[in-house]
Structure 1
Amino acid sequence: MPASPLEEYNRKRDFNKTAEPSGTKSPPSANPVFVVQKHLASHLHYDFRLEIDGVLKSWAVPKGPSASPKEKRLAVATEDHPMQYASFEGVIPAGEYGAGKVIVWDRGTFQNLKDGKTLEESYSTGHLVINLQGEKLKGGYSLLRTKMGWLMVKMEDEFARPLSDILNEQPASVISGRLVEEI
């Protein structure tokens, strides 16, 4: 078990070569944040990150998040990231872990919808139920840990869009307005 929740993150990166932020655990926010980063590395994927206990708990979502309750998305847990990573856009140099281009595809705040459980408890038991208030993603989502990884599923609510392809409809960064290929 790492001594710090960010030990693995910091060990994998050479901060003399990458512009990614180093960081330490932050105090918890009154309004926890989430971020979705579009990451063009060896394969295009999306990194979904939730602020839990002063760090960004992170998942790689190969097909990206969906606004449709009919589509379950595999979400592979990755190492925790520092809170400063929530605004990172740029190029991770060749030879560095995660080499490729990164944009902030979406960001916002979220609430825990699990009555009687903290976010930390829900994460450790493998079932998060959250409400996202992002610039693109809104409403209820569930993350459920299975034997094969986590599943990310949009819940039925007024923000569900069963026939939508939100990833291609809104491909640009919410910070810079650029496409990941333009970074």
Structure 2
Amino acid sequence: MNISKNDSLLIGNWLAYNPKELKVATRKYQLQKKIFKYNPNNKVDEIFINDDKFNVLKYNDTIDGEAVENEFEEYFTNTEKLYEKNSSIDELTSDFVSNLSKADIFILRNSIFARHGFAFRDKQLRMYFELFDWYMSVFGDVKDELTEIEKKNIELLLRYEQNAEEYYDTFGR
């Protein structure tokens, strides 16, 4: 690896310890220096799906007069309501939060921490927030950086998250 004087680009090559055993034994990389800056306006506009959490629904149907049992996998994912509010700027209300899915609440709450550069240990959260070019995983604790609106919203979201439905049924709540 090397970085030229007054440059913000780290350039390097990687060679495997035992290159004959691997299909790809060398790699070239470039890392651009990024500076973290908190921005409460950063948007969350991607779908969150937790592949590790799903519910298998079984239902009976009749096809051509014959009874058939079907299965449907329902994943822990957000709804469109997630995109209506920014939990770092908008003061959330009980009316709004009470109509959210558990995944909506989960992402709204964790988006506050992501905007502050929190380094998530949870694999699904880390992978989700890495979809956003604004996310930078740099801090292990951001509690002292939270605004008053964010603190209020976290408290409200936590109250509802405990009792929210994890999955929507096919016909809504």
TM-score, normalised relative to structure 1: 0.24
Larger Rg, first or second structure (1 or 2): 2
Considering fraction of residues, name the structure with more strand.
Answer: 1
TM-score scaled by structure 2?
0.25
